[in-house]
């Protein structure tokens, strides 16, 4: 199959529910999005919402942060776990990650050893007993103790122990209090029929094949080049991936796609392909995209398909930043047209900077679209006073 770059953009935007052709509403809409993409990356940094909230506000028409909190910690439809990295996914997917939990456990043990904190493993029974007796607890509620001599990692030994137990699936996150996790026994978080479900894969090859197929869906379309789209525990190397991709093609589960002007092939799930209908859409939605949004996991791929280069500059020294500390790409229709640096504020939405992309003219119509998107953004963030009056001038 051969398509144009424009078709590729339309497909990816539509797959990610970013073109408003398939409106999503409320918590059901949140779950519908998770069903399609598998997971959303978690990051605790909160300037105008955490990464997961920013991902969801750009898809769910009436999104509020409490929706995600309720689905995670009241209704338990979603769960904190390890997928691409630390992520959120559907609770019903928990049994599929048995092998990931095994490998993550070994990785955490190696990290503890490197940080001279291996004695954290001596406290496993103590932690499990405390939670069985008292219910959900923070590490500091169990006790204090030096975790090790390394300057990196946990200061409290119980924090290290509970983190290990979380990664092997003995504990789950019962609640988050800002950045602090309240842990509980996994059986108090995940229903018994899910915990007791048999291992889903007979061989590791079966798991990896499922994982590659799932990861394609997380973005919509991927090439077989190493990058953010394939990052994560147990994702195979490029050569092995290609064998699995070929196998999935033979089974009719995915298709290979050539995009005009790009040498590498791309792969999408057969069930998701609908270029014909996508090609007719007149998308005028403006969205503010999270720094770790599924659409832009693979920065090189985004550069090739969307002609847009993006770097999250949080970890770059201020003097070396091209734009700013926490900058969000601005998607209008099927193109990235600007970058937004929001200002941290409690009562209203204000911005530090706005940069139009080269070749984009700030017409009155475009500024009005941006202001409308800002107003919706402010509502989703719970900004009672809406958009600050200075914002319109910064868009000029």
- Verify that 33 and 173 share a domain, yes or no: no
Do the beta carbons of residue 157 and residue 145 sit within 8 Å? yes
Do the beta carbons of residue 48 and residue 379 sit within 8 Å? no
- Verify that 44 and 134 share a domain, yes or no: no
- Verify that 136 and 61 share a domain, yes or no: no
Residue 86 within any structural domain of the chain: no
Q: Which residues contact 340 (CB under 8 A, 6 or more apart)?
A: 288, 327, 328, 329, 330, 351, 353, 354
Residue 87 within any structural domain of the chain: no
For the domain that residue 102 is a member of, what is the CATH number?
1.10.10
- Verify that 291 and 388 share a domain, yes or no: yes
Do the beta carbons of residue 105 and residue 167 sit within 8 Å? yes
- Verify that 17 and 148 share a domain, yes or no: no
- Verify that 52 and 108 share a domain, yes or no: no
- Verify that 215 and 68 share a domain, yes or no: yes
- DSSP secondary structure of 202-246: SSHHHHHHHHHHHHHHHHS-EESSSSGGG-STTPPPHHHHHHHHH
- Verify that 344 and 315 share a domain, yes or no: yes
- Verify that 240 and 326 share a domain, yes or no: no
Residue 88 within any structural domain of the chain: no
Q: Which residue ranges of the chain lie beneath pLDDT 70?
A: 145-154, 275-282
- Verify that 225 and 270 share a domain, yes or no: yes
Distance between CA atoms of residues 155 and 145, nearest Å = 8
Residue 101 has what pLDDT? 96
Final residue belonging to a domain, choices 278, 307, 342 = 278
Do the beta carbons of residue 64 and residue 79 sit within 8 Å? no
Q: How many independent structural domains does the chain possess?
A: 3
Final residue belonging to a domain, choices 278, 298, 325 = 278
Residue 196 within any structural domain of the chain: no
Final residue belonging to a domain, choices 149, 165, 190 = 190
Residue 225 has what pLDDT? 96
For the domain that residue 325 is a member of, what is the CATH number?
3.40.630
Scan for tokens 């919509």, then name that residue: 220
Distance of CA 229 to the CA centre of its chain: 11
- Verify that 294 and 264 share a domain, yes or no: no
Residue 85 within any structural domain of the chain: no
The domain of 240 spans: 2-79+201-278
DSSP 27: H
Residue 128 within any structural domain of the chain: yes
Quote the tokens at residue 326: 């926490």
- DSSP secondary structure of 47-104: SSS-HHHHHHHTTBTT--HHHHHHHHHTS-SEEEEESSSEEEEEGGGGGGGHHHHHHH
Do the beta carbons of residue 259 and residue 295 sit within 8 Å? no
Do the beta carbons of residue 45 and residue 315 sit within 8 Å? no
Residue 150 has what pLDDT? 46
Residue 292 within any structural domain of the chain: yes
Residue 17 within any structural domain of the chain: yes
How many Cα atoms are found within 13 Å in the side-chain-facing hemisphere of 239? 0
Distance between CA atoms of residues 329 and 309, nearest Å = 10
DSSP 168: T
- Verify that 186 and 106 share a domain, yes or no: yes
């Amino acid at each position: 199959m051969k398509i144009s770059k424009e078709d590729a953009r339309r497909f990816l935007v539509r797959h990610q529910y970013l073109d408003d052709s398939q409106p999503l509403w409320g918590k059901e809409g949140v779950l519908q999005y998770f069903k399609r993409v598998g997971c959303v990356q978690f990051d605790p940094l909160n300037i105008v919402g955490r990464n997961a909230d920013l991902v969801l506000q750009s898809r769910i028409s009436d999104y509020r942060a409490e929706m995600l909190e309720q689905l995670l910690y009241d209704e338990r439809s979603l769960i904190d776990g390890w997928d691409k990295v630390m992520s959120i996914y559907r609770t019903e997917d928990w049994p599929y990650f048995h092998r990931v939990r095994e490998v993550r456990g070994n990785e955490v043990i190696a990290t503890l050893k490197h940080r001279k904190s291996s004695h954290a493993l001596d406290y496993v029974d103590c932690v499990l007993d405390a939670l069985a007796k008292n219910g959900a607890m923070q590490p500091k509620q169990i006790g204090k103790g030096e975790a090790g001599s390394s300057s990196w990692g946990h200061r409290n030994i119980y924090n290290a122990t509970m983190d290990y137990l979380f990664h092997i699936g003995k504990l789950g996150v019962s609640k988050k209090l800002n950045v602090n996790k309240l842990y509980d026994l996994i059986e108090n978080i995940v229903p018994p029929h899910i915990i007791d479900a048999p291992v889903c894969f007979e061989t590791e090859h079966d798991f990896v094949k499922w994982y590659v197929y799932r990861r394609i869906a997380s973005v919509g379309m991927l090439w077989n080049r190493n990058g953010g789209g394939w990052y994560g525990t147990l994702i195979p190397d490029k050569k092995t991936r290609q064998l699995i991709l070929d196998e999935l093609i033979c089974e009719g589960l995915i298709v290979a796609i050539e995009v005009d002007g790009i040498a590498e092939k791309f792969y999408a799930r057969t069930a998701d392909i609908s270029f014909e209908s996508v090609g007719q859409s007149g998308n005028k939605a403006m969205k503010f995209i999270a720094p770790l949004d599924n659409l832009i996991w693979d920065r090189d791929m985004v550069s090739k398909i969307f002609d847009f280069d993006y770097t999250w500059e949080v970890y770059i020294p201020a003097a070396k930043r091209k734009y700013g500390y926490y900058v969000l790409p601005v998607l209008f229709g099927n193109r990235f047209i600007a970058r937004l640096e929001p200002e941290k504020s409690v009562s209203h939405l204000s911005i530090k900077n706005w940069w139009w992309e080269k070749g984009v003219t700030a017409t009155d119509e475009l500024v009005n679209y941006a202001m409308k998107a800002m107003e919706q953004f402010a509502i989703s963030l719970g900004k009672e006073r809406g958009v600050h009056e200075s914002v319109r001038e910064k868009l000029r």
